[in-house]
């Protein structure tokens, strides 16, 4: 027993060393995305490559293999689950030569900077050679890791364990048909919201002050985090006591910052409320990208776009908003922020058409990884799918294929998590509503029971449970898209008087 205890202590020390490198790397990423001068990017990419190489070496060392062999059946559940995570990472990482991984990380850092420049100039050709290399690396890694039926499954598993192309190809068509059917009815409605009432110059500092008030309401701890500005909003965790979020402001349309900040706040609440006993272990993070997205989309859409939320917060909003909002009644405001209108930009999409944006990206990256077409074909294929799914065609690469940051980081397999997260969120919401009077809590401004329910059922576990296991434990059923379909149908039938 004493010997085992000593091995566990050594293992924890080893995890702490890995976590220290990871935290420095996350801080470096945060700085690159928010503060770094343009000329500092190349050397910073070298630094990130060095840190990534050190983490990779620790993950794949003989010492790690010895820990895995010694502690696979440990009595301590946290140690045992940590070993499971380390073993999976060990087998994945050890299959990638260290020098290849280091070069890949350097490429990621550089390509993100090039993507920003290409997006600014609306010129895909600037980014194309970097994306071609990222695609080839991901194909190579997927083959290293192995897969059963589809090479893309190897990448999906990285972000959403248990999900395959077979599952997505079974769920997405039904969801698409339901959304497009509802969209057709909405387009034929004679009772539409008036979005023009939302326009007007809204100073950035006022938007920031309002969103900070909302973040505090929903339980984001500013003593363990901060809010900054960036091109593409994100949440990043250095540790559970330093969880940072960013946003982007549009002074002519407050919705970008308000709902985007709440979205990132949902991610942050998850990370800040993981059980402290998991700190500095590989379990101290969200169990998957999809479950993470369920938390951000839950707060952004199901909560902050609800009527109850604004019944409590509309007066606060008007205290920061332009004067003309003093004459806008709550009902009109509520309907306007929930307007359905196909748009080019994913992060600006309404909640009904949002999943269609994800399905477009899923089909494109699945095709890229399977070699069905080349990177150079992306702009044209992107535009074709936008017309097919949403009936609109981007006029520039900026509002088309260059709008998302994900591919510049090599995150293939990530996008489906957004749609899965939306389905998870609706399923969690259905279960929560059986235990809590959510509308009453929102209209009274009492968010605490909602946050506590999420912490109790989801947040605290970190990666102790796999995503589909967590969904079934919480909701007592398997992944079920019907909850999202019913939620959207009920909400928009009311808003558009269908």
What residue spans define the domains of the chain? 2-121, 165-495
Q: Which of 338, 265, 254, 337 is nearest to 299 (CA)?
A: 265
Q: Which residues of the chain have pLDDT under 50?
A: 1-2
Given this model, what pLDDT does residue 4 score? 57
The model's pLDDT over 90-110, given as tens digits with 9 standing for 90+, comes to 998 889 888 898 899 889 989
The model's pLDDT over 404-445, given as tens digits with 9 standing for 90+, comes to 999 999 999 999 999 999 999 999 999 999 999 999 999 999
264 catalytic, yes or no?
A: yes
Q: CATH number of the domain at 165-495, out of 1.10.1370.30, 3.30.1330.40, 1.10.3720.10, 3.30.559.30?
A: 1.10.1370.30
Given this model, what pLDDT does residue 21 score? 95
Catalytic residue among 160, 264, 271, 351: 264
Given this model, what pLDDT does residue 41 score? 86
In which order are the strands placed within the sheet that holds 235-239? Answer: 227-229, 242-247, 235-239
E strand or H helix that includes residue 455: helix 448-457
Given this model, what pLDDT does residue 102 score? 84
**Alpha carbons 24 and 18: distance in angstroms, whole number:** 10
Given this model, what pLDDT does residue 2 score? 44
Reduced to 3 states, what is the DSSP secondary structure of residue 227?
A: strand
- Binding residue numbers for Zn(2+): 263, 267, 293
- Return the structure tokens found at 208: 């920031």
The model's pLDDT over 442-477, given as tens digits with 9 standing for 90+, comes to 999 999 999 999 999 999 999 999 999 999 999 999
- Binding residue numbers: 263, 267, 293
Can you give the C-alpha Rg of the chain in angstroms?
Answer: 23
How open is the CA angle 49-55-58, to the nearest 5 degrees? Answer: 140
State the pTM of this model. 0.90
CB 317 within 8 A of CB 198: no
Structure letter (DSSP) for residue 377: G
Residue in this structure with the two tokens 């296991």, named with its chain if needed: 469
Q: Which of 122, 358, 355, 405 is nearest to 246 (CA)?
A: 405
Given this model, what pLDDT does residue 12 score? 96
């Amino acid at each position: 027993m004493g010997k085992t205890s000593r091995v566990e202590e050594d293992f924890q020390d080893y995890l702490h060393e890995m976590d220290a490198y990871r935290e420095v790397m996350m801080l470096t990423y945060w700085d690159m995305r928010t503060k770094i001068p343009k000329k500092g990017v190349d050397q910073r990419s070298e630094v990130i490559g060095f840190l990534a190489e050190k983490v990779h070496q620790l993950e794949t060392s003989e010492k790690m293999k010895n820990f895995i062999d010694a502690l696979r059946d440990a009595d301590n559940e946290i140690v045992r689950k940590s070993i499971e995570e380390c073993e999976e990472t060990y087998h994945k990482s050890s299959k990638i030569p260290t020098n290849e991984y280091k070069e890949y990380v350097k490429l990621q850092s550089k390509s993100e900077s090039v993507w920003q420049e290409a997006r600014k100039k609306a010129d895909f050709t600037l980014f194309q050679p970097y994306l071609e290399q990222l695609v080839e690396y991901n194909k190579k890694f997927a083959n290293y890791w192995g897969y059963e039926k589809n090479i893309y499954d190897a990448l999906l598993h990285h972000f959403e364990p248990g999900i395959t192309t077979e599952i997505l190809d079974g769920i997405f068509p039904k969801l698409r048909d339901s959304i497009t059917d509802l969209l057709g009815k909405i387009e034929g409605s004679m009772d539409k919201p008036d979005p023009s009432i939302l326009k007007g110059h809204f100073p950035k500092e006022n938007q920031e002050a309002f969103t900070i008030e909302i973040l505090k309401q929903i339980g984001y701890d500013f003593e363990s985090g901060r809010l900054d500005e960036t091109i593409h909003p994100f949440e990043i965790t250095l540790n559970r006591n330093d969880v940072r979020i960013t946003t982007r402001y549009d002074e002519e349309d407050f919705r970008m910052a308000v709902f985007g900040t709440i979205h990132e706040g949902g991610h942050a609440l998850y990370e800040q409320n993981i059980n402290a006993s998991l700190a500095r272990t590989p379990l101290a993070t969200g169990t998957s990208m999809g479950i993470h997205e369920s938390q951000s989309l839950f707060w952004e859409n199901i909560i902050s776009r609800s009527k109850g939320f604004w019944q409590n917060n509309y007066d606060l909003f008007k205290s920061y908003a332009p004067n003309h909002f003093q004459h806008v009644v709550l009902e009109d405001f509520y309907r306007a922020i929930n307007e359905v209108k196909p748009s080019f930009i994913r992060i600006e999409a309404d909640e009904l058409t949002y999943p269609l944006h994800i399905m477009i990206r899923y089909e494109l990256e699945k095709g890229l990884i399977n070699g069905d077409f080349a990177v150079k074909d992306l702009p044209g294929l992107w535009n074709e799918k936008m017309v097919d799914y949403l009936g609109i065609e981007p006029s520039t690469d900026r509002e088309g294929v260059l709008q998302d940051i994900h591919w510049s980081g090599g995150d293939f397999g990530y996008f489906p998590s957004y749609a899965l997260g939306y389905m998870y969120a609706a399923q969690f919401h259905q279960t929560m509503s059986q235990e809590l009077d959510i509308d009453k809590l929102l209209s009274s401004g009492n968010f605490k029971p909602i946050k506590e329910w999420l912490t109790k059922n989801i947040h605290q576990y970190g990666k102790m449970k796999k995503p589909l296991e967590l969904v079934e434990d919480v909701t007592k059923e398997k992944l079920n898209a019907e909850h999202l379909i019913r939620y959207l149908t009920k909400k928009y039938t009311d808003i558009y008087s269908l």
